[in-house]
Amino acid sequence: MKIAVYPGSFDPVSNGHLDIIRRVAKIFDRVYVLVSINPSKKYLFTTEERVDLLKRAARDLENVVVEASNKLVLEFAREKNAQVIIRGVRSFLDYQSEITLFSFNRSIDPSVDTLFLFPSTNNLFLSSSSIKELVMFGNDITDYVPEGLAETITKKIKERL
C-alpha cells in the first residue's frame, strides 16, 4: 500500500491545501493529513478546529485520514508506514526552508522520501496568512477556502480581532 503524509499547520485550511490533498489522494492509497502541533507556534484555530475544518473539506475523499500530532513529522510518517512526506512549495522562500528539512529528514531516515508539489496556478498566491488578512480587512474569502467553510473561518478570525 502506498501511503503519504501531508503535514501542515492548516491555520486555517485553504483551497491551496485542498488542491494538494486532492491531487495526492489520486496518487496514494492512503493519505494522512497531519495537523502539526508546535508548542512554540501561536495558532488562531485550536487543534480540534483545524482537524474539524480539514475533515469537512476532505469528507468526500475516502482514502484521506485527518489526524493531529505533536510528534516529529518523520516519526509520525514511520508510525503510519508512510513512504513519502508531501510538501507544498509556492515560492523560492518555501523551497529554501523545505530543502533543509528534506535533507535533515533524509539524514535521519532515508527510507522516507519527500515529494514537493506546487499548488495549481489559481492557488499559487494563497496562504493561511493571506486568508486571515482578507478577513481582517472585511473581504469575502469564499473563493479561497473549501466550500462551506468560509462562514466558520470568517467568524473565528473576526472573534480574534
Q: Of 9, 36, 69, 128, which residue is the catalytic one?
A: 128
CA–CA dist 67, 12 (Å, integer): 15
14 has catalytic annotation: no
Question: Which entry of 22, 55, 78, 90 is annotated as an active-site residue?
Answer: 90
Selecting among 41, 42, 107, 111, the annotated active-site residue is 41
Which residue of the set 9, 14, 17, 69 is catalytic? 17
Note if 128 is an active site residue: yes
d(CA 77, CA 144): 29
Task: Compute CA 18 distance to the chain's CA centroid, rounded to the nearest angstrom.
Answer: 8
23 is annotated as an active-site residue: no
CB 33 within 8 A of CB 67: yes
Catalytic residues: 17, 41, 90, 128
